[in-house]
Structure 1
Amino acid sequence: MRGLICTVAPRAGTADPVLELSGPFALFRHTRLYGRALGELVPLLAWCRRFRLRAECVARERRLILPLVTGDPIFPAAEPRRYDSRLEERFARDFRRLAPDWDVVREPEPVAAGGTLIFPDFALQHRHDAARRWFLEIVGFWTPDYVARKLALYRAARLSNLILCIDEDRNCAAEDLPSGALVVRFRRRVDAAAVLRLVG
């Protein structure tokens, strides 16, 4: 996220999560680089249904607080991309074509995991049976450290309805995977038919 550190956690007494963004060296120095990176995110708020932003800024050696809330005038950025990658876009298109009785929800509600929140790539929801709902995460082209952290969070979440689609190049060992997760290995393209067989 533009070289910034992002942590997400539930907020006590509300269903709304809190995102905290900072630069990796923000504790030691405040730089224009971080300010610009953070500033680039503000126009994206115009695409959120609800938001509240509190930014701590340093301008000309003065510490200032910038508050923004839903309804404040913000010049909007271009509409955010619907998918993070072509891999995700292809999977969603293929699954919708093969499974007309299922809804494919991009970036569904967050899941609590070890004091933080994780955001699955998709939820698969059967249109005629609310109990048939699966979270799906595509573990693709990421660094080994990122994959290890992501899998640790999913282990902490203890989901009984999780499908992991794992790039064969990731070399994820069985002991690294969350207990009970269903796994689809892939190369270049997630096999939507294999996922459909798992969810029935």
Structure 2
Amino acid sequence: MLPTDLLMFRVKAGIVEPRRLKPTPGNLTLITTLIDTFTAHVGEKRAPLNDALKALEAGRSDYRVVRGLAHILAGDHAEFETGGTLEPSLIRAKVFELAQAHPPSRARRADVLAQAAAALGGGPLTPEELGEALYADLPDQQTLVQFDAPEPGTLIDRFNLAQAQGVLYRAYSLIITARRNEPARYKQLLKYTKLFGLMVTVEGDADYGFTLTMDGPTSLFGGTTRYGLAMAKFLPALLHVTKWDLTAALKPRRDLAWVDPEDDEWRFELTSDDGYVSHYKVPDEHDSALESGFADRFTKLSGPWTLEREVDLVPVPGGVIIPDFRLVHEGGRSVLLEIVGYWRPEYLRKKFDLLRKSGRTDVIVAVSERLNLERAGVDPSDFDERVIFFKGVLNPKGVLEVAEKLTGTGMA
């Protein structure tokens, strides 16, 4: 992501609009020049590269664009290493220890380096090399050892997303309305809320959408933007969900002269149609071989039932259920299918507890017989005919039989 001083945005009527870079001929030429600059400095220290980048931005009114693009190239596409065979911190400690006994001088410096080289083994570095290695761990002394040049369009997408992420640094509340999606997309979304420590509640239904609310009172974090940073890191995961709207409440920046002092709150609004591109890995369509195998076998059947991957979230007090499939009858009725193949006792207890709390009677639960429900303290008897036990593979015909009973449809 970008540091605060490289963020570019405007505020209109309390709505924040981040700067977006377009693939104009001028911007594409700039990106090509930046990529060529990095490529030309592979094998060199970072200081000459920084000098070349400063020369490139000199006299340009869009210098922050240059710095922002270079920041992304250095962070995402370049690899820098500290040279030498000894840790610079160890070299500094020995040199400073030896130097304390004598007043500094050019001649004395050479003696100290020679003594330090001998004390540190002598072989790995000569006194001259030791002098160069003293501060080899500083950023400008690191060597650019590898650079993987991105496509210009990819870099533009990454720059634009970084600007949007930067706006969220100051967010203390995030509300997302999500529509029906593949389970893998929802599961990735919720995985990242946990990964980044976001507190989320889920409400709503399939007709009006599911609302995910993430609140981070600044008092919890000592007035810092740590929660906003977590929301910024979360945004690329949200982009994999196909239909959504986002509204964020932000703290206004008081360090900018043009900010209206009367502003108490800013808002940032995004939708899935805004064209931002995620750099996070796209989640697999199926979470397990059980699910993919079931889907493959279902496609070989003929009849009035259709298997859908896009499903609804099922809000539950204390959590959320993300069914694996929806089975839709041609008459319009449908049921959800949850495949339980994971064996850990805590997982099983939580899964069945959430299913009970949901109060939903349209969820079929398929459970592998390899799971020891009794050992986990799970009693599925209160789910009546909605539970299916299977060995090895899940037979679609058995699932459809249960679906017919629940929906009042008949085999066709």
Tell me which residue corresponds to 1:16.
Answer: 209
Go from structure 1 to structure 2 and tell me whether the alpha carbon gap of 1:9 and 1:43 turns closer, same or farther (over 3 Å shift). Answer: closer
Tell me which residue corresponds to 1:45.
Answer: 239
Alpha-carbon distance, 1:101 to partner: 2.1
| Mapping 1:165-184, distance limit 5 Å | 165-173=366-374, 175-176=379-380, 178-184=382-388
Q: C-alpha separation between the residues in 1 aligned to 2:203 and 2:343?
A: 25
1:113 to 316, 319, 342: 316
Alpha-carbon distance, 1:137 to partner: 0.4
> Residue 186 of structure 1 aligns to which amino acid in structure 2?
F
Go from structure 1 to structure 2 and tell me whether the alpha carbon gap of 1:38 and 1:95 turns closer, same or farther (over 3 Å shift). Answer: farther
> Residue 74 of structure 1 aligns to which amino acid in structure 2?
Y
Alpha-carbon distance, 1:94 to partner: 0.9
Q: Secondary structure at the match of 2:300?
A: helix
Q: C-alpha separation between the residues in 2 aligned to 1:66 and 1:144?
A: 43
Go from structure 1 to structure 2 and tell me whether the alpha carbon gap of 1:181 and 1:9 turns closer, same or farther (over 3 Å shift). Answer: farther
Go from structure 1 to structure 2 and tell me whether the alpha carbon gap of 1:43 and 1:194 turns closer, same or farther (over 3 Å shift). Answer: closer
> Residue 48 of structure 1 aligns to which amino acid in structure 2?
T
Q: Secondary structure at the match of 1:170?
A: coil
Q: C-alpha separation between the residues in 1 aligned to 2:382 and 2:249?
A: 36
- The question of whether the paired residues in 2 share the 8 Å contact of 1:160 and 1:180 is answered with no
Q: Secondary structure at the match of 1:48?
A: coil
Higher strand share: 1
- The question of whether the paired residues in 2 share the 8 Å contact of 1:107 and 1:120 is answered with no
TM-score (norm 2): 0.38
TM-score (norm 1): 0.70
Q: Is it true that 1:192 corresponds to 2:396 in the alignment? A: yes
Tell me which residue corresponds to 2:352.
Answer: 151
Go from structure 1 to structure 2 and tell me whether the alpha carbon gap of 1:55 and 1:118 turns closer, same or farther (over 3 Å shift). Answer: farther
Go from structure 1 to structure 2 and tell me whether the alpha carbon gap of 1:166 and 1:7 turns closer, same or farther (over 3 Å shift). Answer: farther
| Mapping 1:41-190, distance limit 5 Å | 41-42=235-236, 44-45=238-239, 47-52=241-246, 54=248, 67-70=268-271, 71-77=273-279, 79-114=282-317, 117-127=320-330, 129-131=331-333, 133-173=334-374, 175-176=379-380, 178-190=382-394
Q: Secondary structure at the match of 1:75?
A: coil
Tell me which residue corresponds to 1:60.
Answer: none
Go from structure 1 to structure 2 and tell me whether the alpha carbon gap of 1:187 and 1:51 turns closer, same or farther (over 3 Å shift). Answer: farther
Q: C-alpha separation between the residues in 2 aligned to 1:188 and 1:146?
A: 20
- The question of whether the paired residues in 1 share the 8 Å contact of 2:336 and 2:363 is answered with yes
Alpha-carbon distance, 1:194 to partner: 1.9
Alpha-carbon distance, 1:92 to partner: 1.4
Give the RMSD, CA atoms, in angstroms: 3.8
Go from structure 1 to structure 2 and tell me whether the alpha carbon gap of 1:154 and 1:181 turns closer, same or farther (over 3 Å shift). Answer: farther
Mean Cα deviation higher: 1-10 or 181-190: 1-10
- Identical-residue share of aligned pairs (%): 26
When the two structures are aligned, how many residues end up with a matched partner?
190
Please give the per-residue CA displacement for 1:150-178, whole angstroms capped at 9, x wherever unaligned: 21111122233321111223222573455
Higher helix share: 2
Tell me which residue corresponds to 1:61.
Answer: none
Alpha-carbon distance, 1:147 to partner: 1.9
